[in-house]
Chains A and B, each alone.
Chain A
Amino acid sequence: MIKVGIVGLGKMGLSHVAMIRAHPDVSVEAVVDSTGYVLDVLSKYTGLRTFSGMQEMLDAVELDAVIIATPTRLHAGMVRTALEAGVSVFCEKPLTLTSAESVELAELARSRGLVTQVGYHNRFVGAFQEVKKLLDAQAIGRVTHVLAEAYGPVVLKPKGSTWRSQRSEGGGCLYDYAAHPIDLVTWYLGAPTGVGGTVLGSVFSAETEDEVFSTLYFPDGVSGQVSVNWSDESYRKMTTRITLWGTQGRIHADRQECQVYLREEATAPEGYEPGWNVRYTTELTDEVWFYLRGEEYSAQLDAFVKRVQNRDLDGTNSFASAAVTDRVLELMVTDAAAGPRTLATGDAPVPVAPAPARTRAGTAVALLQHGLQVARAGGRTLVARLRKSS
């Protein structure tokens, strides 16, 4: 039996409580939330022990692990507190708002021998796992390009004021939505060497972005494109899609199915053949002990429980891998603030509506990069003029 506490009782936090409470190897010792209402209802009707703060819980209850499902801005402090108390941590995505902090927390956990995991549940979706297997087997040869997409109906009107609509809280389409497909891309292709052409566009939100577009650059000429929009009402719910092109074929996957086209020359993995192959969720999905909203949510918690039991520090979605995704998100914020690089007028680029930077350090980086860019573009313009006149 591992003893678990859950911090944050929003939609995701409550789902975690329901799933983990049903786990045969777990005892839920306490739940924490800053608002009394949900706490009181839970304590009245379910007998769960409740606390209004995480430190109070850690002081009063002996735990093996905590699940943190609070707004992203609060993650860093809470994760640190838990790790310093010697407790393993499952934290909702994204891990923190700066990759430096994520790296530091990953190191802290490792030095104390504690298990860490981040809630990028797509890595536990059967179809997305199949993609990983196919790539590891080099089924489509050398990958040349990836398209990572996510669309869904989250912000459909110019109002609403939860933490998700505040960039300073870690809300917004980039951190809340685009993080998922981007995390899949880093799982498949590793860390990009750079990003470009990032657009963080607003559709309805005043204080943050509702759509995200960007190009990712990987070693050896591999490229990626991100296209995400959470103001798309034509989707019933969030739909994440990955398409990869390689020298020997193409893979397309969403949470329901994995469609693979293999060229005649491709070395088809077992069970696959040249031409089209389709694998459906019914054959790609393993049974879970308890089902709520999708097997992947249960599967990731089960993986965490097993890792805590075995003190297994390396596993899917450790803090270290989440830090890579955090870094990409950070680069995209900086890149978007810099605006377009090549202007139709040939003049030095000027940022079109710079997005508010996330941190002071981020602002400094953005300003510095912008300055460099202006200088570089100015240089280019000067060279062009010189050429023309000669």
Chain B
Amino acid sequence: MDRLLFGDNQFFGVNHMSEEKARAQAMRFQDIDAVMGVLDAAYDEGITTFMCTTHGRIAQVCDRVRANPERYKDFTFFPGMPYAHKYADAITENGMLGAVRQFLPEEGLVNAALRGGRSLAKKDIEGLTTLLVDAEMAMFRGLRTPVIWLQNVVVDLLLGLGFDDAFVIFAEHVRKRYDAEPGFITMNLPRLLDTLERVGVDNPIVCSNINKIGFRMSGGIQGYQEALQGRRFRAVAMSVFASGAIPPREALEWIYAQPNIESVVFGASSRANIHNTAMLVDELAPARA
């Protein structure tokens, strides 16, 4: 994994600090050219991995990248799924089966429909889960997706419910069908590591809030530090600036004082911010062996 990953919250009106700011960003990035402008700026800074949701508009980014293979030859997607809103809306509108139908992969429609229908009837979560992953991955066909994430709302729901098998099902399917590494996003890192270890998902890639002020680090900042010190997993830190509550240098100095941070994911809307973050990381991150 790259040391810096570029996130997509800013493109979709997600801001954990201010709803006004979130709305202003949603307006600015309504135009896909504005999104591509920022992605190009990051790419030109050498940040070639885009960690994104499967929001409908990401499909447009995929189209742009596919259409210009020369320009984007190193462009890498780390898709995160499911885009929860999309399913919540679909289930409200069309019920469970209707929602599954709506998101069927384009290819093998009949097969997929049968698989979905049969899985539903048998309460076979494996069939259903893999089907939904395939549906989500359709937009990335032909693109590089070496890591595929399960989103935190789903990870943490499954984690709390004790639905441990789902993590194994997801990991195996992603490895087998996409030759990709499974990633798990969580707000409850220590607890998730316990569960993944128990079900045998070895050395998992896990993305969680890791920041100096302990913002949204359930299990406590100390629990996170102990995990980084002693557990076998590949850590991706998000929310390192705690939505702007910690100044960039201070935030990253603290991050790189922690052991075993493999990657940092960050979002930014301007070329200047992207450049500054990249410079700081170059300066502060320990050299890779």
Contacts and interface: CB of A to CB of B under 8 A. Distances in A.
Contacts of B17: 256-257, 280-282
Interface in A1-31: 11, 14-15, 17-19, 21-22
B93 A157 contact: yes
B225 to A, nearest CB: 14
B141 interface: no
Given A256-B16, A282-B245, A22 B85 contact: no
Interface residues of A, number: 41
B162 A21 contact: yes
A283 interface: yes
B188 A291 contact: yes
A257 to B, nearest CB: 6
A280 B245 contact: yes
Contacts of A21: 160-162
B243 A291 contact: no
B166 interface: yes
Interface stretch (A41-49, A52-60, A267-275): A41-49
B193 interface: no
A388 interface: no
B163 A288 contact: no
A46 B163 contact: yes
B157 interface: yes
Given A256-B19, A290-B191, A17 B161 contact: yes
B160 A290 contact: yes
A162 interface: yes
Nearest to A37: B123
Interface stretch (B65-73, B130-138, B212-220, B270-278): B212-220
Given A37-B123, A162-B92, A282 B213 contact: yes
A220 interface: no
A290 B157 CA distance: 10
A22 B220 contact: no
Nearest to A159: B93
A293 B16 CA distance: 12
B12 A236 contact: yes
Contacts of A37: 123
Interface residues of B, number: 41
Contacts of B165: 45
A136 interface: no
B214 A287 contact: yes
Given A47-B162, A282-B245, A287-B217, A236 B14 contact: yes
A291 B216 CA distance: 8
Given A256-B17, A282-B245, A292 B12 contact: no
Given A18-B159, A46-B162, A282-B245, A291 B18 contact: no
Residue of B125, B187, B191 most packed against chain A (CB within 10 A): B187
Nearest to B88: A11
B161 to A, nearest CB: 5
B16 A236 contact: no
B160 A19 contact: yes
Contacts of B245: 280, 282-283
Given A11-B88, A287-B214, A291-B218, A160 B157 contact: no
Given A254-B19, A283-B245, A292-B160, A22 B191 contact: yes
Contacts of B156: 18, 290-292
A40 B12 CA distance: 36
A44 B163 CA distance: 10
B36 interface: no
Given A160-B93, A280-B245, A46 B161 contact: yes
Interface in B139-157: 153, 156-157
B30 to A, nearest CB: 11
A276 interface: no
B188 A236 contact: no
A237 interface: yes
Contacts of A281: 16-17, 243
B215 A288 contact: no
A287 B188 CA distance: 11
Contacts of A293: 153
A160 B160 contact: no
B194 to A, nearest CB: 11
Contacts of B157: 14-15, 18, 292
A123 B41 CA distance: 42
Contacts of A22: 159-160, 188, 191
A17 to B, nearest CB: 6
A185 B160 CA distance: 33
27 contacts: A11-B88, A17-B161, A19-B160, A42-B161, A44-B123, A162-B92, A236-B14, A236-B22, A236-B85, A254-B19, A256-B16, A256-B17, A256-B19, A281-B17, A282-B242, A287-B220, A290-B156, A290-B160, A290-B218, A291-B188, A291-B218, A292-B153, A292-B157, A292-B160, A292-B187, A295-B216, A298-B218
Interface of B: 12-19, 22, 26, 85, 88, 92-93, 123, 125, 153, 156-163, 165-166, 187-188, 191, 213-220, 242-243, 245
